[in-house]
Structure 1
Amino acid sequence: MRLKEIQRTAHPAWSPAPHHPICLALGTSAQQLDASFNTTAALEIFQVDFADPSLGMKLKGSLPTSNRLHSLVWVNFGAGEDGLGGRLIGGSDNGTVTVYSPEAIVTSGAEAIIGQSDKHTGPVRALDFNPFQSNLLASGANDSEIYIWDLNNFSNPMTPGTKSQPPEDISVVSWNRQVQHILASANPSGKAVVWDLRKNEPIIKISDHSNRMHCSGMLWHPEVATQLVLASEDDRMPVIQMWDLRFATSPLKVLENHTRGLLSIAWSQADPELLLSSAKDNRILCWNPNTGEVIYELPTTNQWCFDIQWCPRNPALLSAASFDGWISVYSVMGGSLEAQQQSRADQISSSFDTMDPFGTGQVLPPLQVPQPTPQTTLVAPLKKPPKWVRRPVGASFAFGGKLITFESPKAPVQSPQPVPVPRQVFVSQVTTETELLQRSRELQAALQSGSLSDYCQAKIHKAPTDSEQDIWRFLLVNFEDEARVKFLRLLGFSKEDLERKISTCLGKNLQPNGHGVDANDLAEKIQLLSTQVSPGTNLFIIPPQPQDKEKKMSFPIPVSAGTLLYAPVVLDADGLISQALLVGNFEGAVDLCLNEGRYAEAILLAISGGQELLQKTQQTYLDEQRNSISMLISSVVTQNWGDIVQSCALDNWKEALAALLTYAHPKEFAHLCETLGSRLEGERTEKRCLQACLCYICSGNIEKLVECWALQRDCSSPLVLEDLVEKMMVLRKSVERLRNSEVAVQSPILADKLTHYAGLLASQGSLATALSYLPDTSDQACIMMMRDRLFHAQGEGGAAAGQQPPPFPYNRVRVTGGDPAPAQAPAVPVQAQPPTQTPSGYQLLIGRPTSNPCVSLQLLQALPAERVEQREIPTEHMVLKQTFDSLVQRCQLAAQDPQTKRKLEDASKRLGYLYDKLREQTLSNNILGGLHEISRCVAGQNYQRGLEVHTAVVTSSNFSEIQAFMPILKVVMTIANKLGV
């Protein structure tokens, strides 16, 4: 589309790529006149400002010149660090080559002409600068004159070699875009000469054998050093020839679409697949030289364009200079174009003064030219995206830590013909958490091998802090015998050390074989008991007495000879106690002893009074005692550890936990430990939370351990989460070892942490390990989706390991073509119509509005069902249908997972294509023989042999003939082999 335009009969030159803003230099064209017959000449610089919505361009500077130009170039030589400036070089019609300063033209300050030379003897029609050394300029004129100018020393040009014979005009010169010392020149007769400036001689000459090639343009390939194009101005041969110097006997390719001779060509340096050409048929075409296809045509006026150029800075822009005196700027990216062109006839009318312009003495009447109505038209863009908007490389992350990358490789330059370039997509595994993966592998190995004790020992040695060591020591004890005793040792309570301290306090020597008690004394004390007391029985707790009074427990007291029984009857305390005992009033005697503070005698008498009296006496005694250990004694005697746990000072948490480890009943132990841990956790400090974790480890409560550990830590960090999962899984295994059964993950917080951990492992590519950590019993949709993704992301690995596909949390919806119909709508009956002949709903309703599904349904229902009579399958091939249908039915009965069932449903439909071809008898004998052999293998349940025959048939047949049914037949045999049907 046209973006800018200005009325000038001139040669344009774009500012170099580093120059900003974009400018366009215009030098008055030689041998052309505008509508006003103006004979002056100027060199003007315009700013191309796209922020201005108008079509005009702002004039930045102008310099009157004495000569008109045949050619004009703007080089970056002499530009400042900001890219501004450079040099303008013009070739005039009198053979002069002039160097201008663009800055001086814009500022109208210093002398704008920097250098000038009249070495040429005729019009300088060809100019080009070296893309590698911007100070080198080539010019061509009449009599085969070619000069190489150095802008640093403009007065002494050099020649590339001896002039070509016979002498001819040089219409174009062009520097090679890959090799800086190669220059090419061409003349109107169609001959092109390639010069090697290191040798100062021509190295090759190319020309068309038809001698009808009048060369109007020549350009080197932007990327292939040995290829160039020549444009023909002859109306009899309006073509572009593409040559390769390695095969210079004939053109490599000929581009034909113009109907008249070409005037100018331009090859995009940003995309070698864009070649512009303008011709005398009023068209500007954009070619893909690799394919010879026209991929764009500019919407131009009905005028010849004698000069077209790409913009170096913005590759989507180009300029076109036409013989009607307009310079236009176009974009090849398409868009909307509103016709704002001023009538050319009106311009001519205003140029011719009606007051006798030719001195005839007569006044001309004004021209009546109808003005066209402005129109808005859409301009189509290029048929293919240009290189500068295509992604040369790309990357995208996928599930499982996969990185998908691609790149656009360059075509090989060795081959003159365009060769399809293989485009590769690379799939790589990205690993960013190497320490996480290493620790995860160690944990997984320990869980699978069962060597969790060694794993805990290793974690103890690697623990960075004492608190971390304590946690791993407690976790290790869970895998050892006598766990409670070892927990006591970890808390600092050792029975051996305590016995030594007691012996020291009592002044007795420690007896290693009696745990602090003399053996003889112990034997004598045991003989005092009439009934054996089992080890560990609390003497303060009297078990329920049997109904047989004769079997009461007794404590005989030795009586020495001559001792008199004294039972006073006075009214003092001793007398009352004696009288109460004589009449058997144990409760009264106990009350009297308690009242006198004789607690030992009261407890001894209560033992004889029965369980109820003993408990009452114990409670009365304990209520009276208020010393530092009375609460502990009370809990030991009454076995009421809940009070200790609820009311003990948190600084004494170790003592409370030790008491639980020593005395608590196994059924109450876990609950009491959790209660103590909850009190510690309620303090919300890191120290108390670590102590609470030890309580939870003793109780085996995984959920509480996770909640408490996460309370003071940010588990979003991968390594912190790894710490938590290690403790979680080790404690879980210890609980499973104690219960001898698997522990299911039912807590939401456990499921959340394990799911997060599985996601981390999956992002690092450890898919199988991640799947093993997901809760098996959870019905949360997110977990089920994660399990489904992990299973299918393993590809064939999951199926090879014998894993069954997990259930998917949502109903799978099969998306088909055509309009959706309501669920309650009755289906249209079709009488056994073959699939290949059944038009889809979309095909039936094509060409009508599809916004109303109800109308669509009515139209479908209004169509009469077409009965299609099917042929019978030949008798000799009926066995194929019976065998394959029976195989599918057996597989459907044995299949359990939904995925396999869906495959079998699809197989039932797609085998219909086989049966249709059997009815039509369109299969070759080779295929039919293979199918019968497969049928025999299926009947004998020899599926491996059937798959081998299947492979042989596919490789030896035309795949287009069997592609509808052979792949699904292989799937069915594979499923049957797996199910063993």
Structure 2
Amino acid sequence: MRLKEIQRTAHPAWSPAPHHPICLALGTSAQQLDASFNTTAALEIFQVDFADPSLGMKLKGSLPTSNRLHSLVWVNFGAGEDGLGGRLIGGSDNGTVTVYSPEAIVTSGAEAIIGQSDKHTGPVRALDFNPFQSNLLASGANDSEIYIWDLNNFSNPMTPGTKSQPPEDISVVSWNRQVQHILASANPSGKAVVWDLRKNEPIIKISDHSNRMHCSGMLWHPEVATQLVLASEDDRMPVIQMWDLRFATSPLKVLENHTRGLLSIAWSQADPELLLSKVPAFLLCSIGPRHLSLPRVIYELPTTNQWCFDIQWCPRNPALLSAASFDGWISVYSVMGGSLEAQQQSRADQISSSFDTMDPFGTGQVLPPLQVPQPTPQTTLVAPLKKPPKWVRRPVGASFAFGGKLITFESPKAPVQSPQPVPVPRQVFVSQVTTETELLQRSRELQAALQSGSLSDYCQAKIHKAPTDSEQDIWRFLLVNFEDEARVKFLRLLGFSKEDLERKISTCLGKNLQPNGHGVDANDLAEKIQLLSTQVNKEKKISFPIPVSAGTLLYAPVVLDADGLISQALLVGNFEGAVDLCLNEGRYAEAILLAISGGQELLQKTQQTYLDEQRNSISMLISSVVTQNWGDIVQSCALENWKEALAALLTYAHPKEFAHLCETLGSRLEGERTEKRCLQACLCYICSGNIEKLVECWALQRDCSSPLVLEDLVEKMMVLRKSVERLRNSEVAVQSPILADKLTHYAGLLASQGSLATALSYLPDTSDQACIMMMRDRLFHAQGEGGAAGGQQPPPFPYNRVRVTGGDPAPAQALAAPVQAQPPTQTPVFRNECILFDTFASALRIDPYRAHGPQADLRQPGSTLPASRTRPSKSLHKTAVSALVIQKTEFLPAYLHKTHRAILKVLLFESDVLIFNIFIYFPQQTKRKLEDASKRLGYLYDKLREQTLSNNILGGLHEISRCVAGQNYQRGLEVHTAVVTSSNFSEIQAFMPILKVVMTIANKLGV
């Protein structure tokens, strides 16, 4: 596509690749004149600004020159402040080589000419700079003159060796792109000489044996050091020859697609597969991949009908190229395609704008403006390259896959040892990436402990490795869950030991305590157990010996004081009144003793009265012990006394209430939202066995996105889960969303490190959480056949299977109910065809004779006559497509038995189902003769399913299917011919030929 153009008869030169913005230098061409016969010369620099939508280019600077140029190059040598560094070197028609400063030309400041030499005796037609040392420049002129210039010392050039004989004009010089001391030169007679500058002599000469090769261009291969191309300008032999110096007896390849002689060629340094040449009306990109035996034209860029004498690739943007034509235009093109909406301004319009309203005849009258008809704006569409060029192809690529897999690829270079075409193998590497080694090691240790059941040893090891005291406390509490007398040991961990308490009490009372080592005398305990009875003997009275002093007499005063009233109440059996009198007098011990004799109700009332009146530091504890109301303690105790509250629960709480009370205490601690309280709450949750609360509280103060922090949490979670399962003797189901989320995240981390089997083992198979089910399904299938088939049953499918329909929902009555096939009662009179109810074909089939609407006249398979049918209508393709279950695959064609699963993955669109329905049965009717056609039709079905066919081809296929449905095969063949001639054959070559065979056979058989 043409992007920029300017009217100049000049030689172009692109700015070097490091320079930005991109500029184009133009030196007036020698031996050419424009329409105005202007003989002046200039060196101009234009900025190529693609932000400007116009075709013109902005002039940055201009320098008048005394000589016109035969060649011009822009060397990346020297630095400029404004980015226009380097040097411009021009070879003129009088043998002068001049070095210009682009910066000086743009700024119009200092002297623009840096150096000048007239060593050559004739026009300097060839210039090229060394790609390795930019200060070295080669020039060629008449009489086999070749000079090597050093821009640091421009006055003393050197020669590559003695002049070749007989003396000839040098048309091209070119430095080797791989070996910096190799230079090649060519002359118009078709001979090329390769020079070794270290030896200062030619090392090889190549020429065409036919002597018809008039060389106009020569270029070295960008990557292969021993290969070069020669272009011929002779119309009788318009070819490009590729030579390999190791086999220089004949050309390695010859490109013969040109119709006229070639004046210029350009080889892309960004993609060696692109060699640019110019013929009238087209720029041709040829050569193609190196593994091809013959070069070929791979791209044609439409240009003007004029000849181009100079074409060049842009060094900075490899998609751009410039072309200088003999009609006086310099154009910039892009090989990446696109569209350009520009008005083609006519010559008359240019004349009108030039003359304006002047009076050319001297009449003294002002002429009206010329009325020039404006052409209609045309949109020029240019297709891009058929194959992506190298600069847009990825040289390497990498992508991560599930399971910690890293898939990489690279574009290997073709071997250069052999000139013969060699296919380049392309490989994709799959590697396992492991970044969390500590996570994997700890996960393996946890997995081993869970499988072996040695969780006590595991907890002991975690206690020794714990970095903080709080971490040690958590693992000590987790360890107690796997030991006997867990509550007693929880009390010890809280700092409450019965042995230590007995010693403190004895010290306080002044007694000498002699423990037996276990805290309980075994003989005394045995005697007490023998006296225990599970039933109360009402006849047996428990008597307490009342010490009575000698001579003490029973005295019951009858006076009206407190003692007298108490005595009288006792004598008449009024225990309640006696207790009230004792409480009133503050005699609480006597009131409690009397309440015991008064019954349980009176005792509880007396205890409550006493507790209400006593307000001290331990009254609440005594009240809770007596009344067994531990809820008040948990709800109202100070959080600083959480250990005492938890100890009381461990000592007195009923097993049915213990877990709830511990959770309540833990919730109060967790509500403080501090790290210290959260750790204390975790201990309460461990005692209660609440895994969900433990996870929530632990994650409250920690970032579980870190793999090792999540590992800490999962270790505690799995150990506590195992302890709860040990206590309940049943598996604990994971139904909590937060547990499912953490386990899924943890399994994903393990899977990303390649431990798929280990990750799957952490996900319970009894959970109904969607995230766990999806992860289990993904892990199971990610293990492949080796891992998934190792005796494991596949997990349940985590999704609901739904019926997939088209975009326009069909009426409910239009969907036929499943009908079971029944044996026919009499011989059917309709044609023999495949009847598929509730099968794959019925899911995708649309009857071409059935209109869209209710299916009230649907017939059973055993019916004698078919239902009445109507001709196809425009609404035919609106019928919904339903995905049904395959039940009777014995009726399917042979090839569908192998491919129906793959085809069922993605349903065809409604508008394409008719095509599928028509062509699916042709092989069935001529099964023996069309076995191969049946298989090749799968390419068509793949194209329809993937929606890769163009609208033109798809419309033709619909028309062919309608012709086939009506048995109008002649019309179908005509449409087939029209589709083939108007479409890209590479897009339809896989299935269109076989469709013609199918219709031809069907037409002959009359089926």
* TM class, shorter-length: 0.7 to 0.9
Are the aligned partners of 2:82 and 2:103 in contact in 1 as well (CA < 8 Å)? no
Are the aligned partners of 1:645 and 1:672 in contact in 2 as well (CA < 8 Å)? yes
Are the aligned partners of 1:91 and 1:124 in contact in 2 as well (CA < 8 Å)? yes
Corresponding residue SS for 1:302: coil
- 1-structure distance, mates of 2:487, 2:795: 41
What is the CA distance between 1:962 and its match in structure 2? 24
Residue 874 of structure 1, aligned match among 893, 898, 915:
898
Q: Which moved more, 1:777-786 or 1:487-496?
A: 777-786
Q: Which moved more, 1:771-780 or 1:447-456?
A: 771-780
- Residue 17 of structure 1: aligned partner: 17
Are the aligned partners of 1:403 and 1:430 in contact in 2 as well (CA < 8 Å)? yes
- Residue 180 of structure 2: aligned partner: 180
- 2-structure distance, mates of 1:245, 1:880: 57
Are the aligned partners of 1:877 and 1:918 in contact in 2 as well (CA < 8 Å)? no
Are the aligned partners of 1:499 and 1:515 in contact in 2 as well (CA < 8 Å)? no
Q: 1:362 to 1:754 in 2, by over 3 A?
A: closer
Q: Which moved more, 1:599-608 or 1:641-650?
A: 599-608
What is the CA distance between 1:102 and its match in structure 2? 2.4
Corresponding residue SS for 2:812: coil
Structure 2, unaligned stretches of length 5 or more?
286-295, 835-862, 871-896
Are the aligned partners of 1:306 and 1:322 in contact in 2 as well (CA < 8 Å)? yes
Are the aligned partners of 1:192 and 1:206 in contact in 2 as well (CA < 8 Å)? yes
CA-to-aligned-CA distance 1:91-131 (integer Å, 9 cap, x gap): 22222222223233333333333332222222221111111
Q: 1:489 to 1:640 in 2, by over 3 A?
A: same
Q: Which moved more, 1:159-168 or 1:913-922?
A: 913-922
Q: 1:140 to 1:354 in 2, by over 3 A?
A: farther
What is the CA distance between 1:492 and its match in structure 2? 1.0
Corresponding residue SS for 1:333: coil
Q: 1:835 to 1:104 in 2, by over 3 A?
A: farther
What is the CA distance between 1:918 and its match in structure 2? 29
Are the aligned partners of 2:14 and 2:315 in contact in 1 as well (CA < 8 Å)? yes
Q: 1:331 to 1:802 in 2, by over 3 A?
A: same
Question: TM-score, normalised to structure 2's length?
Answer: 0.75
Q: 1:400 to 1:901 in 2, by over 3 A?
A: farther
Q: 1:879 to 1:99 in 2, by over 3 A?
A: closer
Q: Which moved more, 1:941-950 or 1:434-443?
A: 941-950
What is the CA distance between 1:259 and its match in structure 2? 0.6
Are the aligned partners of 1:835 and 1:913 in contact in 2 as well (CA < 8 Å)? no
Q: Which moved more, 1:804-813 or 1:24-33?
A: 804-813
CA-to-aligned-CA distance 1:916-943 (integer Å, 9 cap, x gap): 9999999999999999999999999999
Q: Which moved more, 1:907-916 or 1:962-971?
A: 962-971
Matched, 1:445 2:457: no
What is the CA distance between 1:224 and its match in structure 2? 0.9
Are the aligned partners of 1:185 and 1:192 in contact in 2 as well (CA < 8 Å)? yes
Q: 1:978 to 1:656 in 2, by over 3 A?
A: farther
Are the aligned partners of 1:334 and 1:382 in contact in 2 as well (CA < 8 Å)? yes
- 2-structure distance, mates of 1:340, 1:836: 76
What is the CA distance between 1:262 and its match in structure 2? 0.9
- 2-structure distance, mates of 1:187, 1:199: 22
Q: Which moved more, 1:148-157 or 1:893-902?
A: 893-902
- Residue 390 of structure 2: aligned partner: 387
What is the CA distance between 1:70 and its match in structure 2? 1.6
What is the CA distance between 1:189 and its match in structure 2? 1.4
Q: 1:576 to 1:887 in 2, by over 3 A?
A: farther
CA-to-aligned-CA distance 1:675-721 (integer Å, 9 cap, x gap): 22233233333322222222221121222222322333333333333
What is the CA distance between 1:615 and its match in structure 2? 3.4
CA-to-aligned-CA distance 1:635-680 (integer Å, 9 cap, x gap): 3333332333333332222222222222222222222222222332
- 2-structure distance, mates of 1:41, 1:256: 38
Are the aligned partners of 1:819 and 1:853 in contact in 2 as well (CA < 8 Å)? no
Corresponding residue SS for 2:179: coil
Corresponding residue SS for 1:504: helix
Q: 1:817 to 1:255 in 2, by over 3 A?
A: farther
Are the aligned partners of 1:746 and 1:777 in contact in 2 as well (CA < 8 Å)? no
Give the 5 Å matches for 1:219-298.
219-279=219-279, 284-286=283-285, 293-298=296-301
Corresponding residue SS for 2:559: coil
Q: Which moved more, 1:524-533 or 1:231-240?
A: 524-533
Residue 316 of structure 2, aligned match among 313, 316, 324:
313
Q: 1:964 to 1:585 in 2, by over 3 A?
A: farther
CA-to-aligned-CA distance 1:539-582 (integer Å, 9 cap, x gap): xxxxxxxxx64223222446688765555666655555555555
What is the CA distance between 1:228 and its match in structure 2? 0.5
Question: TM-score, normalised to structure 1's length?
Answer: 0.76
- 2-structure distance, mates of 1:764, 1:970: 54
What is the CA distance between 1:307 and its match in structure 2? 0.9
Are the aligned partners of 1:88 and 1:100 in contact in 2 as well (CA < 8 Å)? yes
- 2-structure distance, mates of 1:809, 1:276: 57
Structure 1, unaligned stretches of length 5 or more?
287-292, 534-547, 840-851, 855-860
What is the CA distance between 1:800 and its match in structure 2? 3.0
Cα RMSD over matched residues?
11.7
What is the CA distance between 1:475 and its match in structure 2? 1.2
Are the aligned partners of 2:284 and 2:301 in contact in 1 as well (CA < 8 Å)? yes
Q: Which moved more, 1:128-137 or 1:58-67?
A: 58-67
Q: 1:85 to 1:946 in 2, by over 3 A?
A: closer
Are the aligned partners of 2:912 and 2:944 in contact in 1 as well (CA < 8 Å)? no
Q: Which moved more, 1:471-480 or 1:519-528?
A: 519-528
Are the aligned partners of 2:740 and 2:769 in contact in 1 as well (CA < 8 Å)? no
Q: Which moved more, 1:371-380 or 1:653-662?
A: 371-380
Are the aligned partners of 1:456 and 1:476 in contact in 2 as well (CA < 8 Å)? yes
CA-to-aligned-CA distance 1:455-510 (integer Å, 9 cap, x gap): 22222222222222211111111111111111111111111111111111121212
Corresponding residue SS for 1:969: helix
Corresponding residue SS for 2:264: strand
- 2-structure distance, mates of 1:972, 1:98: 72
Q: Which moved more, 1:818-827 or 1:12-21?
A: 818-827
- 2-structure distance, mates of 1:117, 1:439: 78
Q: 1:352 to 1:896 in 2, by over 3 A?
A: closer
Q: 1:958 to 1:593 in 2, by over 3 A?
A: same
- 2-structure distance, mates of 1:374, 1:589: 120
Are the aligned partners of 1:509 and 1:516 in contact in 2 as well (CA < 8 Å)? no
What is the CA distance between 1:795 and its match in structure 2? 1.8
Are the aligned partners of 1:19 and 1:83 in contact in 2 as well (CA < 8 Å)? yes
- 1-structure distance, mates of 2:1003, 2:792: 16
Q: 1:658 to 1:208 in 2, by over 3 A?
A: same
Q: 1:377 to 1:740 in 2, by over 3 A?
A: same
Are the aligned partners of 1:622 and 1:630 in contact in 2 as well (CA < 8 Å)? yes
- 1-structure distance, mates of 2:955, 2:734: 56
CA-to-aligned-CA distance 1:1-20 (integer Å, 9 cap, x gap): 11222222222222222233
Q: 1:231 to 1:681 in 2, by over 3 A?
A: same
- 2-structure distance, mates of 1:486, 1:557: 41
- 1-structure distance, mates of 2:910, 2:757: 37
What is the CA distance between 1:524 and its match in structure 2? 13
What is the CA distance between 1:265 and its match in structure 2? 0.2
- Residue 874 of structure 2: aligned partner: none
What is the CA distance between 1:215 and its match in structure 2? 0.8
What is the CA distance between 1:226 and its match in structure 2? 0.7
Q: 1:960 to 1:561 in 2, by over 3 A?
A: farther
What is the CA distance between 1:83 and its match in structure 2? 4.5
Are the aligned partners of 2:127 and 2:172 in contact in 1 as well (CA < 8 Å)? yes
Are the aligned partners of 1:771 and 1:791 in contact in 2 as well (CA < 8 Å)? yes
What is the CA distance between 1:356 and its match in structure 2? 18
- Residue 970 of structure 2: aligned partner: 944
- Residue 537 of structure 1: aligned partner: none
Are the aligned partners of 1:892 and 1:901 in contact in 2 as well (CA < 8 Å)? no
Are the aligned partners of 2:102 and 2:112 in contact in 1 as well (CA < 8 Å)? yes
Are the aligned partners of 1:70 and 1:93 in contact in 2 as well (CA < 8 Å)? yes
Are the aligned partners of 1:95 and 1:122 in contact in 2 as well (CA < 8 Å)? yes
- 1-structure distance, mates of 2:666, 2:216: 94
> How many corresponding residue pairs?
933
Are the aligned partners of 1:443 and 1:726 in contact in 2 as well (CA < 8 Å)? yes
**Identical pairs, percent:** 97
Are the aligned partners of 1:804 and 1:897 in contact in 2 as well (CA < 8 Å)? no
Are the aligned partners of 2:914 and 2:958 in contact in 1 as well (CA < 8 Å)? no
Are the aligned partners of 1:894 and 1:979 in contact in 2 as well (CA < 8 Å)? no
What is the CA distance between 1:134 and its match in structure 2? 1.5
What is the CA distance between 1:276 and its match in structure 2? 0.7
- 2-structure distance, mates of 1:361, 1:924: 64
Q: Which moved more, 1:893-902 or 1:446-455?
A: 893-902
- 1-structure distance, mates of 2:999, 2:553: 107
- 1-structure distance, mates of 2:678, 2:614: 34
What is the CA distance between 1:222 and its match in structure 2? 0.8
Q: Which moved more, 1:377-386 or 1:394-403?
A: 394-403
